Amino acid sequence: MNVRIEIAHDRCRGAGQCALNAPELFDQSDEDGTVVLLDAQPPPEQHNAARLAAALCPNAVISIVEQP
């Protein structure tokens, strides 16, 4: 199964839960603290971290698209 991460930048408020819980996949902008996606198609060993970051995002900015 492949996973693709999508970000709704306009809803991000810079809470940082994504970068704290999945630093291999997410960072925060130095300018405004909003999410920076580091890997839109992570390897399988990062799928659970991507799902966790999406679940913890208070503004539901992160979407996980699972593809067969």
Q: What percent of the chain has pLDDT over 90?
A: 96
Q: What domains are defined for the chain?
A: 2-67 (3.30.70.20)
Name the pTM for this structure.
Answer: 0.93
Does the pLDDT value for residue 1 go beyond 90?
Answer: no
Instruction: Kindly report, residue by residue over 35-57, the tens digit of the pLDDT.
Output: 999 999 999 999 999 999 999 99
Three-class secondary structure assignment of the chain: CEEEEEECHHHCCCCCHHHHHCCCCEEECCCCCCEEECCCCCCHHHHHHHHHHHHHCCCCCEEEEEEC
* Lookup: tokens for 51: 């799902």
Q: Is the pLDDT of residue 32 over 90?
A: yes
